[in-house]
Chains A and B, each alone.
Chain A
Amino acid sequence: MHSFISRVNNVSAFLSSVTMCLLASIALSSFLFTTDPKGEVYLTSIKVFPTSQRRTTKKQEMTFVNFNISADLTPLFHWNTKQLFLYLEAEYTNAKGVSSVPIPQDSFYLSPVLTVGTAIWSYRFQQTFAASNSGLTFRLLGPK
């Protein structure tokens, strides 16, 4: 501490340690917030007809579902939230009688920059699976 440079050295080293402890305590405080917000999925249209995927000619039966999502996610935005990851899951029963729940490969996310109340969602969700089945249930899942 005898010279200017040594004071800068000592103070900055202690500042780094204190900053790391502060960040660790902020991260640990995030575990105190446990919420279970619910949302609803409204289907506006379901169309089933045989068509082919892009750039192929093989005809398959495809289901096109348009839906709206209504969810109040404000309890999830605590002080340490940077991004939210939401998952949409489709549950169906195929001919073997097993109810399989595929985890969709596409996931969509919100950042706190978008206003939760008036967010405009225009995310395309495409999932192809082979199912000879009856009944298709859509559920909105929160973060795991």
Chain B
Amino acid sequence: MSGLAKSVQEWTEGRIDFEGQAFVELISRVVLIGSAIVAFIVGFVMQSLAVTFVIFGGTTAVLALVVLPPWPMFNAHPVEWLPKVETKEKGK
């Protein structure tokens, strides 16, 4: 398989390692809750529902761009597999 096709396949599958998964979960939870709180407060002060949903939707779009694609920073801790153990075949 050529290098380009392989990297395209890697990008569409979107695998990230376990440290990356924990990081993605943390980012998404913090950003979504934080942006909801900020959007509510700013919209309430300015008395405009449009402001609330622009803030909330905008940060959600940016979050999707940061979290969904498998960026290399999420693959910085690949799983360290143990070295292969040679088994001696024992006669029965």
A→B interface (CB under 8 Å): 1-5, 7-8, 10-11, 14-15, 18-19, 21-22, 25-26, 29, 78-80
Contact = CB atoms under 8 A, between A and B. Distances in A.
B71 to A, nearest CB: 12
Nearest to B51: A79
Contacts of B7: none
B47 A79 contact: yes
**Which of B63, B68, B69 has most chain A Cβ within 10 Å?**
B68
B86 interface: no
Contact of B39 (A5, A10, A14, A22): A22
Contacts of A22: 36, 39-40, 52, 56
Contacts of A14: 28-29, 32
Q: How large is the interface on B (under 10, 10 to 19, 20 to 34, 35 or more residues)?
A: 20 to 34
Contacts of A4: 12-14, 68-70
Contacts of B56: 19, 22
Interface residues of chain B: helix, strand, loop or mixed (majority): helix
Nearest to B21: A1
Contacts of A79: 43-44, 47-49
Contacts of B33: 18
In the A-B complex, the 5 residue pairs with the closest CB atoms: A4-B14, A1-B21, A79-B47, A22-B36, A18-B32
Interface string B32-46: 110010011001100
A2 B64 CA distance: 15
B43 A11 contact: no
B34 to A, nearest CB: 10
Contact of A18 (B13, B36, B70): B36
Interface in B37-92: 39-40, 43-44, 47-49, 52, 56, 60, 63-64, 67-70
Contacts of B47: 78-79
A15 B13 contact: no
Contacts of A15: 32, 60
A2 B16 contact: yes
Given A7-B24, A18-B33, 14 more contacts: A3-B14, A4-B12, A4-B13, A7-B67, A10-B25, A11-B64, A14-B28, A22-B39, A22-B40, A25-B40, A29-B40, A79-B43, A79-B44, A80-B49
